[in-house]
Structure 1
Amino acid sequence: MNREELDKIIEYIASSGDIQLSDIPCIDLYVDQVTTLFDDKLADTKRQASDKILTKTMINNYTKAKAVMPPKNKKYGRNHIILLSLIYNLKQILSINDIKTLLTPLLGGINPSKGNERFDLDELYSNYLEIKREDLNNLPQQFNDMLNHIADKSAALNSSSNGKAELMLLVLTLANQAATSKRLAEMIIDEFLKPGL
């Protein structure tokens, strides 16, 4: 296992960007402009160059599912962009129904009616980005600790290819962490955020 190459990967992941509040234009955007904004700001999150960040179809599907409010006069404003950015990060882990359940309180909080809590979407999103940045800053140390643990465990393996065995254990461990985090997120949605709770 080549630690220098893995360190480069971690460095790349930790430096990947987000759509910052300052990136969102003051004017409302048409859907093509929204997808261009996402392509420009999040290009480094693609696995393959041909991957799509956010498409018109994706935006329409999340709008139809009521995870994001419909555009006004075919234009998307600041709140749309923030919600779509959250959706972009969530869609890799959660189902469209879970995303809708999670974001529904925000939709009511943006335009509160009787009985709805008020949410400052800018503030929530800003805090989310800050927490995410802190997590990414801690990633190199956490990853190094994981690599050391895996190296200790794989030293006892009877394998002629310990490097591959370590990489396999690394991927299995990362996949398990992702699955565990996903299950935890789903259980929190089910227990605390489902309508009627």
Structure 2
Amino acid sequence: MDELSALRERLATQRPVAYEEMPDFPLYMDQMLSYMERQVLRFDDGDGLTAAMVNNYTKSGLLPRAEGKKYSREHLCCLTAVCILKQVMSVKDVELLLSSVLPREDVAGGYEAFRADLDRSLNLVTDVMEGYPAEEDTAQAALHFALLSYAAGVASSRYVSLLRRRREEAGGAVPAKKSRKSKEKAEA
């Protein structure tokens, strides 16, 4: 099997597991990191999730705090979405988007909707890849997917901008995080 066929096969078959198929018991950091290796398509050793990244996502409020150094299904759902979306948008935009589509009060439902959208997107790319079966089409296929990525990025960016503006108009903008000193001054 050549590299492009192997890629098409992975895109067609490798998916994050359903919420109900995730471990129903809490995982320690190293277990969670190992589990996440199977949740996201990766091609390089250097692009995996690390403990430092998880800690940064938690500090920024993108991920809920661990429950006694243990991570639940909800953490796995959030991390799956973050790891996928951060490949194509800023962490700030990921945070805004996930607060809308993966709400803390219904992580399971939001995650399953996320998985359904991801599945449709991966199937679309897999179908388009079949139109470029020959090795000679590699440059044309790369151009096609680059332009498709550009177009999708422009659309995504515009949708995120609209979402941000609607939140601000509704008074639901996420306030900027204040430093500890700023909070102490405000309370004094």
Is this contact kept in 2: 1:19–1:85, CA < 8 A? Answer: no
1:141/1:26 Cα in 2 relative to 1: closer, same or farther (>3 Å)? closer
1:180/1:12 Cα in 2 relative to 1: closer, same or farther (>3 Å)? same
Is this contact kept in 2: 1:31–1:76, CA < 8 A? Answer: yes
Q: Does 1:167 align with 2:138?
A: yes
Residue 116 of structure 1 corresponds to which residue in structure 2?
none
Q: How does 1:139-178 map to 2 (within 5 A)?
A: 139-145=125-131, 147=132, 163=136, 166-178=137-149
| Equivalent-residue separation in structure 2 for 1:96 and 1:106 (angstroms) | 15
| 1:73-99 CA-partner distances (Å, limit 9, x unpaired) | 222222111111100110111111111
Residue 103 of structure 1 corresponds to which residue in structure 2?
98
Residue 118 of structure 2 corresponds to which residue in structure 1?
132
| 1:170-196 CA-partner distances (Å, limit 9, x unpaired) | 212211211221221121111123541
Residue 33 of structure 1 corresponds to which residue in structure 2?
31
1:79/1:42 Cα in 2 relative to 1: closer, same or farther (>3 Å)? closer
Is this contact kept in 1: 2:86–2:94, CA < 8 A? Answer: yes
| 1:109-142 CA-partner distances (Å, limit 9, x unpaired) | 42xxxxxxxx522112112223322443444432
1:103/1:8 Cα in 2 relative to 1: closer, same or farther (>3 Å)? closer
How many residues are paired up? Answer: 168
| Equivalent-residue separation in structure 2 for 1:124 and 1:10 (angstroms) | 27
Q: Does 1:120 align with 2:106?
A: yes
1:183/1:32 Cα in 2 relative to 1: closer, same or farther (>3 Å)? same
Q: How does 1:62-73 map to 2 (within 5 A)?
A: 62-73=57-68
| 1:153-182 CA-partner distances (Å, limit 9, x unpaired) | xxxxxxxxx93xx42222122112112212
Residue 154 of structure 1 corresponds to which residue in structure 2?
none
TM-score by length of 2: 0.75
Q: Report the alpha carbon displacement of residue 70 of structure 1 after superposing the two structures with TM.
A: 1.6
Residue 168 of structure 2 corresponds to which residue in structure 1?
196
1:77/1:172 Cα in 2 relative to 1: closer, same or farther (>3 Å)? same
Task: Report the RMSD for the aligned CA atoms in angstroms.
Answer: 2.7
Is this contact kept in 1: 2:11–2:123, CA < 8 A? Answer: no
| Equivalent-residue separation in structure 2 for 1:105 and 1:135 (angstroms) | 20
Q: Report the alpha carbon displacement of residue 71 of structure 1 after superposing the two structures with TM.
A: 1.6
Residue 17 of structure 1 corresponds to which residue in structure 2?
15
